Amino acid sequence: MGTNTMLKTKSLEPSLARPAEILLVEDSPGDVRLMQEALKEGKVANRVHVVGDGVEAMAFLRRQGDFADVPRPDLILLDLNLPKKDGREVLAELKADDDLRRIPVVVLTTSRAEEDILKAYDLHANCYMTKPVDLGQFLNLVKEIEEYWLLMVRLPQE
Amino acid sequence: MTRLDTPLGDTEERLGQIIAFLPDPTMVVDRSGTIIAWNRAMEDLTGRSADEMVGQGDHAYALPFYGERRPVLVDVAMGAAPEAEQQYEALSRHGETVTAEVTLPGFRPGGAILWCKAAPLRDSQGRIVGAIESIRDVTEPRRARQRLQQSETEKRTILDAALEHVILQDRAMRIVWANTSAAESAGMSRDDLIGRHCYEIWGRRSDACPGCPVLPAIETDRPHECEQTTPDGRVWYLRGYPIKGPDGAVTGAVEMTREITGQKRREQALADSEARYRSLTDDVLDSSAVGIFILDAGFKVVWVNRSLERYFGLRREEIIGQDKRTLIRERIKHTFENPDRFADKVLATYDDNTYIENFLCHVLPSGDREDRWLEHWSQPIRSGLYAGGRIEHYTDVTDRVRAEENLKTFKDALENSTDAIGISTPQGVHYYQNETFTRMFGDIGNDPPSTIYVDHKVGREVFDAITSGQEWSGEVEMNGKDGNALSILLRAYPVKREGRTIAVVGVHTDITARKRAEAALAEKADELARSNADLQEFAYVASHDLQEPLRMVSSYVQLLEKRYADALDGEAREFIGYAAGGAKRMQTLINDLLQYSRVGTRGKPFAPTDCEALLEEVLSNLEVAITEAGARVTHDPLPRIMADEAQLARVFQNLVGNALKYCDGPPEIHVSAERRGGQWAFRVRDNGIGIDPDQRERIFVVFRRLHRQNEYSGTGVGLAISKRIVERHGGRIRVESEPGAGSTFIFTIPDRKDPSDGNEHDAEDEES
């Protein structure tokens, strides 16, 4: 499934000399598409890498198998309900990984369940967001995630 | 007539004639002792004729009297035979005349007493020429006098021998005679008593004693009597009898006096004894609570005491002296509950008066007679005045019988208890079990109670705990009658008397069925827990999995609208609008449903909650809506209660929110609270459109709306959630309303005690 899509971005205040690498872990094609649409409208040039399940996500991050040449993502957008290995396991694994744990992880899910929110933060998610049903709100949210994590916050350099 | 050859001459002749005429037997002798005259009376006395006797000498005149010749009184008169005086009694002389009496045992059969008188005859020169003797037969008078004297002596002897004092007194009460007893009593000789007064000797006084019977006897000529106590303390019985003279006039009196000091003492002693006896019967036996019948040998009633009168409703005057058997048959037996049994039992004791009878009988009430239980106890009287009789006691045992009845009631209660009750001695000898016990465990005889335990060891432990004075309660397994194991809730305890365990009681409740029910209930609870977990799962599904496709629908419809708006015609845009609206609405429904399901599962523990502050917060959240509606919201002081603050806020928010929503003018909303019966009743009153009475229950059902969507917005879950919250707090919610007249929502929250601060409520209670 390793769809690797290069997206054209309009860079206003690039903090990176290169386009931002975003790993989207999402199994719903509808959501993938919506997210891509939303990120297209973003201020930061970015490349979105999409994986459809947790196993692929970890393979991507560890550059295993087909993912040997993939870049290290600057931001991970993680859905919780995933086939094979769900988002919580992915979160737990990568936050337990000395190398990967500093990559900001935004949990982006439809769940408003309190236990999911608690669990996500317990596993050191960097933030937890619920996908709005309204399209406008969704687009705004993605825009703000992008601006916040890619422009506003300072992240450690590689 | 005999001619004398003496110088008497014709004198002699005349003398002879005179002598012959004398009525007394008379003879004349001459100096030589020859009989010269023997008159007719002498012939009659002696049976010897004058012819035979005259002329005889040599004491021939003695022959008819003495049967021999001897000198007689004529010889004495002539002075010729002084020795002859010896044979006479009471010989006396008057001049030359000698008189004497002589007793002649052989003169007649039975003897005779003759009175003789003799005198010498002298001639003119005074020479004794002869003598004359007259004889009178005084045998009868003398004998009569002797008899009289004998009688007199006897009477005096009797009087002297009498213990009574006999004192003969003259009219002046001077003592004329007194008997030996009187003299001895006075300590004086009989002669010394004569001429003195009895009052001076015995009464030590100078005139007659008061009440003296002698004086009135003399005065009235009738006997009198009296009792006197002399100064020395002796008591006397005195009688005075008048004595009359030959002319019938009273000459004096005889006083008979008897000392009765001893008798008086005996009388007093008798009176004392009687008083004691009376006291025994009247004061002691009469006051006894035991009713007593005393029967003599003929079973006649001798005596009954007061208790008996009261118990039987009898009066002793009516029954004393009566035959008890007749009394029983005619009266007494009807006093009792079972008359014939009573009569048979008691009458049998009279037929065979040898044994002790003892039985219980029941007196029926009637008139003054009370309902009473009596214990009959009787036995033969073996000695004394009433030997052969019978004494019967009736003891009032009403209290005891009532106590026994009570005991029986308690025992019945015990018998009928649905708990199995067994009692054993502290040594473990089982001796009582009620019916339930028998039904539950069967008859265990005298086996130790530990035998009914499935585990005998547990039974012994329990038993040891109780005998050491402790109570024991808990669940144990016991063997049922049919061999099945029963779950028993056992409460066992010692019964103590004066600190000593005298019995061990076990109360067994069969909780086998309850345990089974509990197990079933636990299973239900598990099911419920599973179902709750399912609900949680649903909640999760609702929050995530249901929203996911919904969001797809919503997002892409919007994206379509956004990106292709220009390419679509008006109708297509309308359709897209409905689709987007539906998706949005569905999302709201899902959210509401989620919240509804979370009331129970996401609740927080109750904590002290300041309702007033909470309401202020809710109102500030609703500020926009309040302003938009132009509403006025007021409230009374609200209490501090134990509640889930977030949930309670939601209730206020829903109710105030509803009031803001369902109105057709500027809303007037008032919130108040009132403590009533351990609960706080909160009221949220509005002036809105009101609710039809038919709809009042419906509004609390989830998703049940009363209005079309275009009239009033909302999913209809707010009141359902409020209801769940209130119910979770243990309260109720309802609405009072009339269409067009506004609504008042009333919900109650129990006034729970704040575990962190116990004083606050106490103080509040004191104020109210």
Amino acid in the structure at residue A11: S
Give CA–CA dist B365/B380, Å, rounded. 29
Give CA–CA dist B682/B618, Å, rounded. 15
Q: Which residues on adjacent β-strands are paired with residue A25?
A: A51, A78
In DSSP notation, B668-692 reads EEEEEEEEETTEEEEEEE--SS---
Instruction: Centre a 10 Å sphere on the Cβ of residue B624 and count the other Cβ atoms it contains.
Output: 8
Task: Return the residue in A34, A36, A79, A133 with the most chain B beta carbons within 10 A, the one to mutate for interface testing.
Answer: A133
Q: Which chain B residue is nearest to residue A115, measuring alpha carbons? A: B540
Q: Which chain B residue is nearest to residue A134, measuring alpha carbons? A: B555
Pairwise CB contact (< 8 Å): B552 & A31: yes
Q: Is the pLDDT of residue A4 over 60?
A: no
Would you call B555 an interface residue with chain A, using a CB distance cutoff of 8 Å?
Answer: yes
Which residues between 583 and 602 in chain B have a beta carbon less than 8 angstroms from any beta carbon of chain A? 583-584, 587, 591, 594, 602
Would you call B409 an interface residue with chain A, using a CB distance cutoff of 8 Å?
Answer: no
Q: Which chain A residue is nearest to residue B546, measuring alpha carbons? A: A110
pLDDT tens-digit series, residues B356-380: 999 999 999 988 899 999 999 999 9
pLDDT tens-digit series, residues A76-103: 999 888 888 888 889 999 999 888 888 8
Q: Which chain B residue is nearest to residue A112, measuring alpha carbons? A: B543
Whether the model clears a pTM of 0.80, i.e. scores above it, the answer is no
Average pLDDT score over chain B: 85
Q: Which among A113, A135, A136 has CB closest to B544?
A: A113
Pairwise CB contact (< 8 Å): B543 & A138: no
Q: Copy the structure tokens of residue B638.
A: 């609200």
pLDDT tens-digit series, residues A23-80: 999 988 888 888 888 888 878 888 899 998 888 899 899 998 888 888 989 899 998 8
Q: Which residues of B touch A109 (CB under 8 A)?
A: 544
pLDDT at residue B707, rounded to an integer: 57
Cα of B693 vs its chain's centroid, Å: 75
Task: Return the residue in B545, B548, B561, B591 with the most chain A beta carbons within 10 A, the one to mutate for interface testing.
Answer: B548
Q: Is the pLDDT of residue B338 over 90?
A: yes
Pairwise CB contact (< 8 Å): A110 & B551: yes
Pairwise CB contact (< 8 Å): A28 & B584: no
- Token pair 């100078």 is found at B206
Q: Which residues of A touch B588 (CB under 8 A)?
A: none
Give CA–CA dist B725/B604, Å, rounded. 11
Contact of B534 with B542, CB cutoff 8 Å: no
- Token pair 């010889």 is found at B75
Give CA–CA dist B655/B156, Å, rounded. 145
pLDDT at residue B391, rounded to an integer: 94
Q: Which residues of A touch B560 (CB under 8 A)?
A: none
Q: Copy the structure tokens of residue B512.
A: 């086998």
Where helices occur in A41-147 by DSSP H, the ranges are 54-61, 87-95, 114-122, 135-146
CA dihedral B121, B127, B129, B133 (to 10 degrees): 20
Pairing of strands B500-510, B420-424: antiparallel
**Which of B244, B231, B221 minimizes the C-alpha distance to B199?**
B231
Question: What residues contact residue A70 under an 8 Å CB cut-off, 6+ apart?
Answer: A2, A4, A49, A60, A63
Nearest CA-CA distance, residue A108 and chain B, Å: 12
Pairing of strands A105-109, B390-396: unpaired
Q: Which chain B residue is nearest to residue A35, measuring alpha carbons? A: B555
Q: Which residues of B touch A31 (CB under 8 A)?
A: 552
CB pairs under 8 A between A and B: 55
Contact of B693 with B746, CB cutoff 8 Å: no
Q: Copy the structure tokens of residue B529.
A: 């827990």
pLDDT at residue B542, rounded to an integer: 67
Q: Which residues of B touch A34 (CB under 8 A)?
A: 555-556, 559
Query: Average pLDDT for residues A143-151, to the nearest whole number?
Result: 86
Pairwise CB contact (< 8 Å): B544 & A133: no
Provide ipTM, 2 decimals. Answer: 0.72
Contact of A109 with A127, CB cutoff 8 Å: no
Q: Is the pLDDT of residue B31 over 60?
A: yes
Query: Average pLDDT for residues B557-585, to the nearest whole number?
Result: 82
Contact of A7 with A36, CB cutoff 8 Å: yes
Pairwise CB contact (< 8 Å): B555 & A34: yes
Q: Which residues of B touch A28 (CB under 8 A)?
A: 548, 552
Give CA–CA dist B222/B608, Å, rounded. 125
Pairwise CB contact (< 8 Å): B550 & A112: no
Pairwise CB contact (< 8 Å): B584 & A133: yes
Contact of B18 with B9, CB cutoff 8 Å: no
**Which of B305, B373, B366 minimizes the C-alpha distance to B335?**
B366
Pairwise CB contact (< 8 Å): A37 & B559: yes
Pairwise CB contact (< 8 Å): B555 & A28: no
Q: Which among A30, A132, A135 has CB closest to B562?
A: A135
pLDDT confidence tier of residue B6, bands split at 50, 70 and 90: low
Query: Average pLDDT for residues B711-727, to the nearest whole number?
Result: 76
Q: Is the pLDDT of residue A13 over 70?
A: no
Give CA–CA dist B641/B751, Å, rounded. 6
Contact of B50 with B56, CB cutoff 8 Å: no
Q: Which residues of B touch A136 (CB under 8 A)?
A: 558
Q: Is the pLDDT of residue B297 over 90?
A: yes
Question: What residues contact residue B449 under an 8 Å CB cut-off, 6+ apart?
Answer: B422, B424, B428, B430, B459, B463, B504, B506
Nearest CA-CA distance, residue B645 and chain A, Å: 18
Residue B204 burial by Cβ neighbours in a 10 Å radius (0-12, 13-18, 19+): exposed
Q: Is the pLDDT of residue B745 over 60?
A: yes
Contact of B683 with B673, CB cutoff 8 Å: yes
Q: Copy the structure tokens of residue B175.
A: 């003592």
Q: Could you tell me how many residues make up chain A? A: 158
Q: Copy the structure tokens of residue B122.
A: 């002298």
User: With helix as H, strand as E and coil as C, how does B571-585 read?
Assistant: HHHHHHHHHHHHHHH
Task: Return the residue in A28, A86, A108, A135 with the most chain B beta carbons within 10 A, the one to mutate for interface testing.
Answer: A135
pLDDT at residue B765, rounded to an integer: 40
Kindly calculate the radius of gyration of chain A based on its CA atoms and give it in whole angstroms.
14
Going by the DSSP 8-state scheme, the letter that residue B703 receives in this structure is T
Provide the CB-side half-sphere exposure for A33 (13 A, CA): 8
Q: Spell B575-591 as b/e; 16+ CB within 10 A means b.
A: ebeebbeebeebbebbb
pLDDT tens-digit series, residues B194-218: 999 888 888 888 888 888 888 888 8
Q: Which residues on adjacent β-strands are paired with residue B473?
A: B491
Give CA–CA dist A77/A144, Å, rounded. 13
Cα of A39 vs its chain's centroid, Å: 11
pLDDT at residue B469, rounded to an integer: 85
pLDDT at residue B705, rounded to an integer: 59
Q: Which among B539, B540, B551 has CB closest to A133?
A: B551
**Which of B80, B101, B97 minimizes the C-alpha distance to B89?**
B101
pLDDT at residue B543, rounded to an integer: 64
What H or E segment, with its residue span, contains residue B526? helix B512-540
Q: Copy the structure tokens of residue B140.
A: 């009868």
Task: Return the residue in A26, A40, A110, A117 with the most chain B beta carbons within 10 A, the one to mutate for interface testing.
Answer: A110
Which residues between 66 and 125 in chain A have a beta carbon less than 8 angstroms from any beta carbon of chain B? 80-81, 109-114, 116
Pairwise CB contact (< 8 Å): B602 & A114: yes
Q: Copy the structure tokens of residue A90.
A: 């992915």
Beta strands in chain A (DSSP E): 3-6, 20-25, 46-51, 75-78, 105-109, 127-130
Q: Is the pLDDT of residue B382 over 70?
A: yes
Contact of B117 with B99, CB cutoff 8 Å: yes
Instruction: Centre a 10 Å sphere on the Cβ of residue B671 and count the other Cβ atoms it contains.
Output: 23
Pairwise CB contact (< 8 Å): B547 & A133: yes
pLDDT tens-digit series, residues B383-435: 988 999 999 999 999 999 999 889 899 888 888 888 999 999 988 889 999 99
Q: Which residues of A touch B543 (CB under 8 A)?
A: 110-113
Listed range (A5-9, B223-227, B415-419, B515-519) with the worst mean pLDDT: A5-9
Contact of B662 with B726, CB cutoff 8 Å: no
What backbone torsions phi and psi does residue A127 show, to the nearest 5 degrees? Answer: -160, 160
Would you call A37 an interface residue with chain B, using a CB distance cutoff of 8 Å?
Answer: yes
Would you call A34 an interface residue with chain B, using a CB distance cutoff of 8 Å?
Answer: yes
Q: Which residues on adjacent β-strands are paired with residue A20?
A: A46
pLDDT at residue B540, rounded to an integer: 65
Pairwise CB contact (< 8 Å): A112 & B594: yes
pLDDT confidence tier of residue B762, bands split at 50, 70 and 90: very low
Q: Copy the structure tokens of residue A31.
A: 């959501």
Contact of B240 with B214, CB cutoff 8 Å: yes
Cα of A24 vs its chain's centroid, Å: 4
Q: Copy the structure tokens of residue B497.
A: 């008397």
Q: Which among A28, A80, A133 has CB closest to B583?
A: A133
Q: Which residues of A touch B558 (CB under 8 A)?
A: 134-136
Task: Rank B21-25, B83-87, B163-167, B344-348 by mean pLDDT and report only the highest.
Answer: B344-348
Pairwise CB contact (< 8 Å): B559 & A133: no
pLDDT tens-digit series, residues B10-20: 666 777 788 88
Give CA–CA dist B213/B202, Å, rounded. 15
Contact of A80 with A88, CB cutoff 8 Å: yes
pLDDT confidence tier of residue B759, bands split at 50, 70 and 90: very low
Contact of B508 with B502, CB cutoff 8 Å: no
